[in-house]
Structure 1
Amino acid sequence: MQNLTLTWQTAGGTAVALLGAAYAAKRVARPGVAVVCREAGTLLALFTLWQLVGHLSVLSTDHALDRADWIHRTELAWGLPDEAALQRSAREHSWLISAANYYYAVMHFGVMLVLLAWVFVRHRARYAWLRNTVVLTTAACLLIQFLPVAPPRMLPGNGFVDVAAEYGQSVYGGAVGGVVADQLSAMPSVHVAWCVIVAVAVAVIARGPWRWLVLLHPVITVYVVVVTANHFWADGLVAVGLLLVVYLVQHAASGWRRTEQPDAEPTPVRDRAGTSS
């Protein structure tokens, strides 16, 4: 599963190049090329920020394990199901753990990229809403992730096992699909935030009864991040809370834009003689 490393420096340089290409294409009246380069550059800039936050959090690991242990103890005190117990039951089936590791590694970026491409090509009018949701939610998660929090798999004393490393499927410690993932950005879970964004977007934009099958994606993702010991329940709950705030902000902003639009000029009423009144 190893691949070439896409560092934050490389991603940032590519993002700048794409945004520059978008500006140049707009100047030479190539709007289609400009839009594609601009959107690709924007998303790559967001990825650069994600990589940079992970790099900075790794440089400041103080108390990351203590915070993770506190989250686990607090969840148990509140009566939430023990993630370690759920992982133990899943480890009885090697095929399930192997599939969960692959789902965690592949579907996070894969499904989101497919969604963005589909909406951009087939439902362009909805694309800005989706892009803004992804950018704002991810940025909010990244702000919190400046405070390092270890994932459950780093707490063997609490009963957790790093099953991805055990099965040779870990996305950490190297590059996977060109992405170098950090290990101390567990709170909140971008995996959970993105899978909910995907489910909401498909349910709202698509038509037909089959679209509801997309609800399986967040259900599977939550199960996967828990049994692989990459996230606590709390990581996902905080991520969903941030996403709800983003939805509310976007709804309020759309209302403000409508309010700020000038009222249309009234249509003049003409009498039978043809004169306006």
Structure 2
Amino acid sequence: MQNLTLTWQASAGASAALYGAAFAVRRVRAVGAAGRRELASAVLREAGTLLALFTLWQLVGHLSLMSTDHALDRAEWIHRTELKFGLPDEVSWQRAVVPHPWLVEAANYYYATMHFGVMLVVLLWLFLRHRARYAWVRTTVVLTTAACLLIQFIPVAPPRMLPGNGFVDLAVQYGQSVYAGGPVAGVVPDQLSAMPSVHVAWCVIVAVAVIGVARSPWRWLVVLHPLVTVVVVVVTANHFWADGLVAIGILLVVYLVQQAASGWRHHALPLHTGSSPSEARQERSSAGR
């Protein structure tokens, strides 16, 4: 199961091309097509932003693998520290799943596909149906992921690389590993960036976005996504509890920073003389986005 399909160079080039296309579309002059130009330009720009984020992720994985000293030692330390603080041993959670092959395979597939799949669906839904809320969520994704990736420049091995501690690489055993076989077609697997867990950060962002934007009582079912994700990353031995806790801490800081910045822009926005109350409200609303 190959998860990464673009090198960082290819994704960077595609991102730049999308930004260029977005600029070109915006500059095209076509009578009666302003709305369609704006929409097409926005779609291209947002796609370019996501690819740029993917580029950064790939690049960090590449660079972290160039300096792997003490990655296993750091993972050992995390495991020991968790047990010292009384957190449940991830090994026992994994052993509870091992006797059920269908559960193991489902967990491996969930780990490999759902973090990207669910995030893309939610971003597309927000962009098409709730544009006013989209920018906030997109910015949250970008800032949180960037912060996680900066920390990941320090290589930390995932639990599955610690067989001496009792962990098993279930994805390899079932032929479902997204990292199997090492670099493929120039793609460097991001195997030593376990701390913090971007999987956990993204699933919480998705849940908060859906609960905050949707109005249906069914929206609360999205809470299952972070719950399942946390269990999956643990039982597949791809992350420690600590990886997820640090990711959630980073996300909370990003939310606070965004809220503070939004409030500052709201109060600092000057009102134009002669603006109607509705225009002033619209200006403040736009600034808060």
Length-normalised TM-score, structure 2 = 0.88
**Which residues of 2 match residues 1-277 of structure 1 at below 5 A?**
1-2=1-2, 5-29=5-29, 30-173=37-180, 181-263=189-271, 265=273
Instruction: Give the Cα–Cα distance (whole angstroms) in 1 for the partners of residues 56 and 4 of structure 2.
Output: 19
Residues 23-60 of structure 1, C-alpha deviations (whole Å, 9 max, x = no match): 11111142222111111101100100000000001111
Question: Could you tell me how far 1:92 is from its partner in structure 2?
Answer: 1.6
- Number of residues of Structure 1 aligned to a counterpart in Structure 2: 267
Instruction: Give the Cα–Cα distance (whole angstroms) in 2 for the partners of residues 92 and 57 of structure 1.
Output: 34
- 1:135 maps to a residue whose letter is V
Say which is worse superposed, 166-175 or 68-77, in terms of deviation.
166-175
Instruction: Give the Cα–Cα distance (whole angstroms) in 1 for the partners of residues 130 and 136 of structure 2.
Output: 11
Instruction: Give the Cα–Cα distance (whole angstroms) in 2 for the partners of residues 113 and 3 of structure 1.
Output: 15
CA contact (8 A) 2:71 2:156 kept: yes
Structure 2: stretches of 5+ with no match in the other structure: 30-36, 277-289
Q: Secondary structure at the match of 1:115?
A: helix
Residues 128-157 of structure 1, C-alpha deviations (whole Å, 9 max, x = no match): 001000000000000000000000000000
Task: Name 2:287's counterpart in structure 1.
Answer: none
Instruction: Give the Cα–Cα distance (whole angstroms) in 2 for the partners of residues 77 and 4 of structure 1.
Output: 36
Residues 81-112 of structure 1, C-alpha deviations (whole Å, 9 max, x = no match): 00011101111211111110010011010000
Task: Name 1:274's counterpart in structure 2.
Answer: none
Query: Residues 2 and 238 of structure 1: is their aligned pair in 2 closer, same or farther, counting only changes over 3 Å?
Result: closer
Question: Could you tell me how far 1:3 is from its partner in structure 2?
Answer: 7.6
Question: Could you tell me how far 1:182 is from its partner in structure 2?
Answer: 1.0
Pairwise CA RMSD = 1.9
Question: Could you tell me how far 1:5 is from its partner in structure 2?
Answer: 3.1
CA contact (8 A) 2:158 2:240 kept: yes
Structure 1: stretches of 5+ with no match in the other structure: 269-277
- 2:99 maps to a residue whose letter is E
Query: Residues 75 and 132 of structure 1: is their aligned pair in 2 closer, same or farther, counting only changes over 3 Å?
Result: same
- 1:25 maps to a residue whose letter is V
- 1:8 maps to a residue whose letter is W
CA contact (8 A) 1:6 1:180 kept: no
Question: Could you tell me how far 1:266 is from its partner in structure 2?
Answer: 8.0
Instruction: Give the Cα–Cα distance (whole angstroms) in 2 for the partners of residues 124 and 82 of structure 1.
Output: 43
> Identity across aligned pairs (percent)?
75
Greater C-alpha Rg:
1
Instruction: Give the Cα–Cα distance (whole angstroms) in 2 for the partners of residues 246 and 4 of structure 1.
Output: 27
Instruction: Give the Cα–Cα distance (whole angstroms) in 2 for the partners of residues 209 and 136 of structure 1.
Output: 29
CA contact (8 A) 1:5 1:180 kept: no
Query: Residues 190 and 23 of structure 1: is their aligned pair in 2 closer, same or farther, counting only changes over 3 Å?
Result: same
Q: Secondary structure at the match of 1:117?
A: helix
Question: Could you tell me how far 1:173 is from its partner in structure 2?
Answer: 3.2
Say which is worse superposed, 229-238 or 34-43, in terms of deviation.
34-43
